[in-house]
Every structure is written in structure tokens, then in C-alpha cells.
Amino acid sequence: MEIDLKLLERLLVNVEKPIRYVGGEWNAIKKDHDCVDVSVLLAFPDTYEIGMSHLGLRILYSILNKRNDVACERTFMPWIDMYKAMTDAGIPLYSLESRIPAGEFDIIGFSLQYELSYTNVLAMLDLADIPLFSTNRSESDPLVIAGGPCVYNPEPIADFMDAILIGEGEEAIEEIIDVCKEVKGKRLSRKEMLKEYAVIPGIYVPSFYKVHYYPGGNIKSIEPENSVAQYPVKKRAIKDLSQIHYPDDIIVPNTEIIHDRAVLEIFRGCTRGCRFCQAGMIYRPVRERQPNSIIGLAERLLDNTGYDEVSLMSLSSADYPYIYEVCKDLLDKYKNQGISISLPSLRVDSFSVELAKEVQRGKRTGLTFAPEAGTERLRNVINKGVTYDDLITAATHVFSEGWHSLKLYFMIGLPTETQDDVSGIVDMAMETLARGRSELKKAGIKKRPEITVSVGSFVPKAHTPFQWQPQMPREELIEKQVYLKKHLRARGLRLTWHDVNASFLEAVLSRGSRRLSRVIEYAYHQGCKFDSWDSELRFDKWMDGFQAADISPEFYGNTKWEYDRILPWDHINSGVSKEFLMREAEQALHGMFTPDCRLGQCPDCGVCKHLGILPKTTSKT
């Protein structure tokens, strides 16, 4: 059943950016639902522009639509005006391709990239007329499943999900489809149906587990209550990227999106070991694509989309051993066609500057370096492995080569941070600015240097060495922001910062247990949506929700936890062992650096053993 298209057209005339809601893009795929066995709706709980920039959605969309027995479509969170208009008019959440109500699909898959999108998930379920809590759903409701980095602590949203996929989805999604085909027509109860899904490796069915608490909120135990429930639930990971499908015919939006370019994942994972970084832990091990494969994929992507830019994506692109050769080959091939290459992540070293120089060939857009901390002592604590000289040398090189715009990213509130560490941010920024003025003058460039200092607040994340550490109290983070605002003042210097309240909520949800589901529900019913947007965050409503649930948010956000404590995510196995994380936590307190395992000794993090593969060293010497 399609929605009322004439009514929808009348709504679109009066909302901001109606192009978000119409579909029909180049390379979008529309199938006849009567001719397939399974229908899947990929749901991204943020705006179209953000969701369409997400690589994971593009990959799953292509994999599923390659199957003749599956129709896979997309939906995104409508912006405030459209959400109200749809609610008032009685138009449900619908798919862009066929404009079919979300509730008529067999599976709805949410991609959870950021904890502050949880109220948007509830808003989308509500708009689809699907009960918020999984226990209230009927036999005719879709299977609601979630994946993404947030689900490595799935507990805050566990009560809303029928199933959760831990890890990478390229192989698992096909197994989910196969089970869905099998159970359809068997007339199974919802519980029996979930049993069939629960046996798929990496699938967590929250209703099959019971969490017991001590008075006060500490967890006493997490126990499976069904014989098919996995314990622990081990993450899914692709062993060989060359063996899985990568889309070379991605959808080209009809409007500008956040990352409006062809995106090519050159390798997955990172072993540099930054102790605050969840992605660096949960996406291990490193798995690389071969250079010829990258060049071939880039050519097909550009041919099939018409984009004039391709982004070579990874967590640290300069760590790809053949990155310089790949960039040179692509730029040589397309030198007369106006094709450009972007690298979203660079190290603070001279090689990165040389690489950027090759990539940008005569045009000088901005560069971003991430020292993360203001002193070498604190950078050793977080295992960043970057010195003051590294940054200043790289900055000097940047400006001498003609760049005039540089962004520096730091965090405040890191474990063991002192005032000297915060002052170090000022010192580093000022010296970088001075080098910029000097080098640009030497080069005869009349433009003045532009230094943007972006400052975020540390958020403890599950499955990292800092998962036991508290976030610094909001009052202290605000004091540090005030200090930086006062001292980072100079012509050509710009300071940006993250909202402390948003960072606090992120920390609470990052380390939260199932007790928080009622808080999330409360916040949603009080009108909270798009909490990750500064203009929309209703922090007071969230605080009312914690009070109504008799839960202290500081219990999750600002409390140091002991190693022997049962963590809300202890039943989830990321592949990286808890023993390794504890060792790294202790190394941090002593300011001891752990080298990248690809360049030195294996630190025995456990992930290679988890996947049954040999530890990887760098593939190029």
C-alpha cells in the first residue's frame, strides 16, 4: 500500500528542503514488492544529508539489492517541520523508493552511529505506528534490528530492539535475510521467530537476557534466559575485504549532502591504539584492499556516478602502505578531467604533508591535524604518539608549501589532565599561528594564516581502555572552555567547541544500562528529537527524565568504575580482551606508550585470536 501521494505533495510545498523526502535519485533501485520474498527498510535516524553520507548504508543497500529475492529501500528521520506535518496529516514514515509505509516491511534496520540519535529512533518507530518497546509488538510488526558502533553497548536501546547485530554486517545481513525467508509462512509466534534469528553468529536478542541489579544500580549479573541465546555475543568481522561486495554504483543524491563525493574504503581497522578511541578498538584488525582493486573500484565509481571527487576513506588513510602510489596513479589517470582525491584523516608528520601536496596538486584547501592533547605527557597517556616537534614541523611544512588554512583538534577532560595540559593547547595553537605567519611571509604569500582550534570533551566509551574512567564534571569542562576562550584570541585564530551538556548526555548513554530505556522514552515523549543538533537539544527535559526514573545521570557519566565491576556491555565480545584493556588502562596511568602492532611487537589484544587469523604486520617494508 502506497501513502496518499497527493496529500504528501501538499505537505512538501510548505517544508524546508522537500527534496529530502521524494527519492528518485540516480542509481536508486525500486523493485516490485510482490516479486520478492523479503522487504528491508534501512532507517537512518538523522536527516537525509547525514544518512546518505554514511558508507555502511550504501554498502548494505547495494548488497541487498543485488539479491533477486530482496527489495531494500531507505528512510531517514524527517526534519522538525516535516515530522510535525506528517504527524498532523496522518502520513506514516515511508520508504523513498516505493513510498510504502515503514510498518509494511519485513525488516527495519537502524544504523546507530551516535548515542544522541536514540530519541530519533523512537520518533521514527512512533511515526511508523510501530510500538516503541519490543515486548509490545504484534506478530504483524516488522523485525526491528539495529547495528553500528553504538551497539557495542546495546543496553540503553535494548528494550526497543527485537535484535541487534554486533559487528560488521556484509555477511551477517545475508544470513538474516535467509532466516527471514525461512520463517515467513511458518506462522511462528514472535518469540519463536526471534529464536531463529538468535542462532545467527553476532545476533543479540535482548529479550532473551535478564539483567539483575544491586540496590543503587550496579549490575549483579547478566544472564541468558533462552537456550539459543549466545553468551557472550561475539562480534562479526570480515576476514578478507576482497571477498565481499563493495558498491561501485552508489546512489547520487539530487541535493548536496554532507560528504558529497564518491567514497572508497581503502582499509578497515586501526591498531595505533589511541586509548580513548572506540573505533580503533572495535574495528580491529586491520584489513587492506589491494592497490589494483582500489584503482579499479575508483574508476567504476567515478564512471557510474559522475562525481568529480573520490574520498579514500579509513580511520588513518596515511597508514595505508601504498597510499602515495594509489593517489599518484589515480591523479595521473584523471589529470585532464578535473577529478580530485580527498583523504579524510592524516597523521601529524611530514609524510602526510607530502601526501597532501601530491593529492591537492596546486590547489590548497584546508588540512586537519589532531594532536588531541596539549602536552606530550598527556599524549603518552592517551597513546597518541605525537610530539610537539612533530606538530610544529608538520605545520611549518604545511605553510611553506602554500597552505594557509589549518585545523587542530584537541580534547579536554582526558584522564589525568591538569591545567598545564590545557595551557599546552594554547601554547601549541599560538606557535602554529606564528609559524604560519612566518612561513607564508617567506613564501611571498599575502594570505594570512587561518588556524581553527576545535575542542571536544572526552567521552568514555565501551570496549576502550578508558571505559572505566569518568567524564570530567560539566562545571570543570565549562571552566576549561572559558579559559581557552579567554586565551585563544588572535587575528587568524578561531576557536570552536562542543556543547558540554551534549557531551555529558553522550557519556551517560555510552556507559548506560537498560535502566535508561525509560529515560529515553520520557525524553522522546517530552518532545526531544535531534538531540545531536545544538539548536534542538532540550537538556532540561532529559534531566527531568532522569529524575522521573529516579536515576542519577552522574552514576553513569561521572563515576570511576573498578575493574572488577560488571559492565553493562560485559556480555558483548568485541574481540579485544578485557585483560588487554586493563593493561592499557594501567599503561595510561604511568604514561607508557604502546606501539602499533603492525610496526612492532604484538600486544596480544586478542582480536586475531578471536577471528582465528595470524597477527598482521605491515604489508610493505
Per-residue pLDDT reduced to its tens digit, 574-589: 999 999 999 999 999 9
> Residue 560, class by beta-carbon neighbours within 10 Å (0-12 exposed, 13-18 middle, 19+ buried)?
exposed
621 — pLDDT class (breaks 50, 70, 90): very low
Digit-coded pLDDT (tens) for 182-241: 999 888 899 999 999 999 999 999 999 999 999 989 999 999 999 999 999 999 999 999
Q: How confident is the model at residue 616 (pLDDT cuts 50, 70, 90)?
A: low
pLDDT of 270: 92
What's the pLDDT score for residue 347? Answer: 75
Which H/E stretch holds residue 457?
A: strand 450-457
Q: Which helix (H) or strand (E) holds 211?
A: strand 209-213
- Residue 348: pLDDT band by 50, 70, 90 thresholds? confident
**Integer Cα distance of 391 and 393 in angstroms:** 5
Looking at every residue in the chain, the average pLDDT score rounds to 94
Condensed to tens digits (0 to 9), the pLDDT of residues 349-361 reads 756 777 887 887 6
Q: What is the pLDDT of residues 72-117, one digit of tens each?
A: 999 999 999 999 999 999 999 999 999 999 999 999 999 999 999 9
Predicted TM-score (pTM) above 0.85: yes
Give the residue-averaged pLDDT of 534-539.
Answer: 96
Pair type for strands 405-412 and 450-457: parallel
Percent of the chain's residues with pLDDT above 70: 97
Amino acid at 349: D
Task: Catalogue all structural domains in the chain, each as residue range(s) with its CATH number.
Answer: 5-234 (3.40.50.2300), 261-498+560-608 (3.80.30.20)
What residues contact 222, with CB distance under 8 A and at least 6 apart?
209, 210, 211, 212, 566, 570, 571
The three state secondary structure string of 249-314 is: CCCECCCCCCCCCEEEECEECCCCCCCCCHHHHHCCCCEECCHHHHHHHHHHHHHHHCCCEEEEEC
pLDDT per residue as tens digits for the range 139-155: 999 999 999 999 999 99
- pLDDT category at 266 given cuts 50, 70, 90 is very high
Average pLDDT, integer, range 512-530: 98
CB 198 within 8 A of CB 229: yes
Q: What is the pLDDT of residue 186?
A: 86
Alpha-helical regions (H) of 140-283: 172-183, 190-198, 278-282
**Rounded Cα–Cα distance for residues 356 and 367 (Å):** 8
Q: How confident is the model at residue 318 (pLDDT cuts 50, 70, 90)?
A: confident
Per-residue confidence (pLDDT) for residue 367, from 0 to 100: 84
Q: Give 376-404 pLDDT, tens digit per residue.
A: 999 999 999 889 999 999 899 889 888 88
Asked if residue 366 has pLDDT above 80, the reply is: no
DSSP percent split of the chain into helix, strand, coil, nearest 5: 40, 15, 45
* DSSP H helices in 13-143: 48-51, 55-65, 80-89, 118-127
> Which segments of 343-420 are extended strands (E)?
367-372, 405-412
CA 191 to chain centre: 31
Higher pLDDT, 244 or 615: 244
Q: Tell me, what amino acid is at 184?
A: K
